Chain A
Amino acid sequence: MRNKKTILFIVYSLIFYAIIFLFHSLGIISDYILHIINLSLIYVILATSLNLINGFTGQFSLGHMGFAAVGAYISGILTTLIWHIKPGNPGSYVLFIIAMLVGGVAAALVGLLIGLPTLRLRGDYLAIVTLGFGEIIRTIINNIDYVGGPRGLLGIPKFSNFTIIFITALLTVILLRNLIFSSHGRAFLSIREDPIASELVGVNTTRQKVIAFVIGAFFAGIGGALLGHLLTLAHPTQYGFMQTVMVLVMVYAGGMGSISGSIVAAFGLTFLSEGLRILLGAIGVAIEWRMVVYAVLLIMIMLFRTSGIMGGREFNFLLPFNKEE
């Protein structure tokens, strides 16, 4: 490791991890709160990877939860239906991590299949195709009896604990950040800024767009795998269009082209969502009204803070280099 700032960032993160872990074992943080933190961390993975596609590369993908579904079901099939493993000895965790990676790779392959033809085109074609893809995935899952069809894939072993989710989220953030602050990342940004000029200074824009899209899909698959093994089930309705909108709201609320923003928004909106569940329940309003609050929130952000909470900037501790280094 030659990067002092990265080491510092990892140290900060481990302190955060230790505090949460300690508070949980002391009973200050309940299982319920820890579950919400776990969910938030999974949303960090989903939101940062979608931000890579939508925020940094400027492509408009609407099928992120479709990739998450691929990851959740493929890894779920491996652990639940083929290997029949249960959390316990270290070997089972190794198998789970393999299953998670296979889920991510499967999602990436599907991403490649969709990205190659559509990313050649400019404009909104990707949005239309990925919107369709999300629905197709859901319909396919609904009709495969092997994975439970509309009942969902039940009895997935609970491999996703705080430690595994935390390490995966941390790795995702660091890897995506490294990619963004590299020559590839600059190419992504140039495509967002002006695709024609980008091509005319020698960037193979189609290739770079496919790279961003496939990597985004991979991490969505990883996120999906973690989600399935946290909730111990995978259900078609968890991966619908509304869930993709949730992640989109996180990306836009946090700020397009800001990893820090996606992290803040993933935590903020997950806690808000759970808070509203309690609040709305207490005053006797149907919890479906949460979505209305979400919509209003999105409109407010679009009106008053167009570029999101972070406005395309990053926290200093997340940057790999000092600004003028």
Chain B
Amino acid sequence: METILSLQGLTHYFGGLRAVHDFNLELPQGALWGLIGPNGAGKTTIFNLITGVYKPTEGKIIFNGEDITGLKSHLIVEKGIARTFQNLRVFNGLTALDNIRIARQAKNNISLFDSFLYTRKFYEEEKQAKEEAMELLKIFNLQSRAYTLAKNLPYGELRRLEIARALATHPKLVLLDEPAAGMNPREVGNLMDLIHWIREQFKITIFLVEHQMRVVMGICERIKVLDFGETICDGSPEYVKCDPKVIEAYLGRVENA
């Protein structure tokens, strides 16, 4: 299968602290892979490196055969990488509909002139943007919330809204940063179905970071385990589950007296 995202020797330092060291990944098109590791292992840093929030100290990021290392975030989004955030980052003061419509910005070719004078083109674009956004809201069962301010939505709906917003950018690859954080077991079950379903429906590749083992073990085809910025294990869920190094990173070592 063709590789969609390739990370080659990705290394990142925060001052003297090495957050990520020599991270390699060959993510095939259409895959659903996971990244796990204890707190502070560098998982979110890797997401931030891929999406251009940080520039890597060393290493290369190749997306769809194109070097995107050090590109500005909005250009990376335009290339087709979207993400969600560990601690929700929806636009609280805006309606659910506007949250989605903003994510269409890059595809929008409305000039300032059109906006100032409300030309015919403006109305056509607005209509299309709204229809597209409403469709996404419907898919995520949020259509009744279209005109509700995001700050008034319950947590579970915000999580869905954020995923919908990521999909509104028409991505090829979606990075989900702890999508199940703060959900109850039933919501987690629904989320797992949803993630499977969007992958099929939108034909996208998904790479996710998650703490809840149930999610990772349940849906990921392959898992990378990170500890203190180093990759300590890489394989199928069954393999990772039994690797002594992984158990040690999570639970500590058994001392033999």
Chains A and B belong together in one complex? yes
Minimal Cβ-Cβ distance residue in A for B175: A200
User: Which stretch in A29-37, A72-80, A151-159, A190-198 binds the other chain?
Assistant: A190-198
B66-103 vs A, CB cutoff 8 Å, 1 = contact: the mask equals 00000011100110001101000111111000100111
Q: Which residues of B contact A190 (CB under 8 A)?
A: 91, 94, 102
- Docked-complex contact B53 and A196, CB < 8 angstroms: yes
Is A182 interfacial (CB-CB < 8 Å)? yes
User: Which stretch in B117-125, B187-195, B234-242 binds the other chain?
Assistant: B117-125
Minimal Cβ-Cβ distance residue in B for A211: B112
Knowing A194-B91, A203-B74, the reply to whether A182 touches B102 (Cβ < 8 A) is no
Knowing A179-B115, A183-B115, A197-B85, the reply to whether A204 touches B101 (Cβ < 8 A) is no
- Docked-complex contact A200 and B83, CB < 8 angstroms: yes
Contact of A200 among B73, B118, B120 (CB under 8 A): B73
Bound-state CA distance A200–B103 (Å) is 9
- Docked-complex contact A201 and B122, CB < 8 angstroms: no
Compute the total of residue contacts between A and B using a CB distance below 8 Å: 108
Contact of B108 among A179, A183, A215 (CB under 8 A): A183
Contact of B101 among A178, A183, A257, A312 (CB under 8 A): A183
Q: Which residues of B contact A192 (CB under 8 A)?
A: 93
Q: Which residues of A contact B165 (CB under 8 A)?
A: 201
- Docked-complex contact B91 and A204, CB < 8 angstroms: no
Is A320 interfacial (CB-CB < 8 Å)? yes
Q: Which residues of A contact B106 (CB under 8 A)?
A: 202-204
Is B147 interfacial (CB-CB < 8 Å)? yes
Contact of B102 among A2, A6, A198 (CB under 8 A): A198
- Docked-complex contact B91 and A200, CB < 8 angstroms: no
Is B142 interfacial (CB-CB < 8 Å)? no
A-B residue pairs, 10 tightest by C-beta: A182-B115, A202-B106, A202-B77, A193-B91, A197-B89, A201-B103, A199-B73, A190-B102, A204-B74, A183-B108
Please, could you name 30 A-B residue pairs with CB atoms under 8 Å apart, sorted by A? A2-B120, A178-B115, A178-B118, A179-B115, A183-B110, A183-B115, A183-B125, A183-B126, A184-B115, A186-B98, A186-B101, A187-B105, A193-B93, A194-B89, A194-B90, A196-B53, A196-B89, A197-B85, A198-B91, A198-B102, A199-B72, A199-B73, A200-B53, A200-B73, A203-B105, A204-B72, A204-B106, A312-B93, A320-B118, A324-B147
